[in-house]
Chains A and B, each alone.
Chain A
């Protein structure tokens, strides 16, 4: 039985697509057959992050409307076996994702895949609701910043009341907090909310902390999910998060400031 995981946040620009790309790549690297779906109709970007923008022929909406089969629309990743991408449509019709249509595509995917990762658009409009509707689990991507934390809490409320699981009275959607763009130096200086602060406010289990890292931009420039840059702190932090998602216990890393030399401390700050 496939597991459907939505990557969501409410607020835009916190790292949903970066996270979707890395989590799906990580799951596939562990040997699980994984598909990652872009739900951001009209503002497709997962294809760029996954470096398959020039291979898009058919998209999610084409499949829903019966203009293409799933097999035609799925793009096979060139780096990791068992990873597939279903790109979003660039249509301006936001309602192109119907509830029945999305449900049908997801259940067809569930026949052959182990993991279905739904990359949600920002906001709480139709696309975001469709992305979370059928989820078994949710990764709430949050920055240590007030508007992001507040929006994450709002999204948690919607998950708990509007998802299919909530409507059916099933076991609730399993929630995971992923804190991204974390800067331990600023936390130490009292300029940034700490992991503990965000955990306390949102009160959901912590899946991982991704440090603010130059590697993320470098990776997206090249269309490489940052998890594949295993020499980078962000890449390693994503790998840890994937392992935890699969049930492994791992210590959280990159939460402390790196010790600086005497001269650097005195003169560079």
Chain B
């Protein structure tokens, strides 16, 4: 760092921002990696069925498969719109 830079205000360390962003996105993508291939289609079909009765957006249905040692749990989270 030169003398001139020394008196300038310090820039934030961007590497730590990069690391934090990476940790989040990588963890998210790893979670999806272990999901079975049929999950996106299952989600679409569930949305279609629910739409017969309630108007919902695509992102209001979350489907996730959690694996434990002995069993798998299919978690279905539907957010209904307020009337």
Contact = CB atoms under 8 A, between A and B. Distances in A.
B10 to A, nearest CB: 9
Interface string A44-78: 00000000000000000000000000000000000
A269 B1 contact: yes
Given A191-B13, A201-B23, A268-B2, 9 more contacts: A150-B22, A150-B26, A150-B29, A189-B13, A190-B14, A190-B16, A191-B14, A193-B22, A197-B19
Contacts of A145: 18
Interface in A146-175: 146, 149-150, 153-154, 157, 161
Interface string A242-269: 0000000000000000000000011111
Given A266-B2, A267-B2, A154 B18 contact: no
B16 to A, nearest CB: 7
B29 A153 contact: yes
Interface string A185-199: 001011111100100
A157 B30 contact: yes
A201 B22 contact: yes
Contacts of B30: 153, 157
Interface of B: 1-3, 5, 12-16, 18-19, 21-23, 25-26, 29-30, 33
Contact of A192 (B3, B15, B25): B15
A146 B23 contact: no
A158 to B, nearest CB: 9
Nearest to A268: B2
A268 B5 CA distance: 11
Contacts of A187: 15
24 contacts: A146-B18, A149-B22, A149-B26, A150-B26, A150-B29, A153-B29, A153-B30, A157-B30, A189-B1, A189-B13, A190-B13, A190-B15, A190-B16, A191-B13, A191-B15, A193-B15, A193-B19, A193-B22, A201-B26, A265-B1, A267-B2, A267-B3, A268-B2, A269-B2
B38 to A, nearest CB: 15
Contacts of A194: 15
Given A146-B18, A191-B14, A154 B29 contact: yes
B1 to A, nearest CB: 6
A189 B18 CA distance: 14
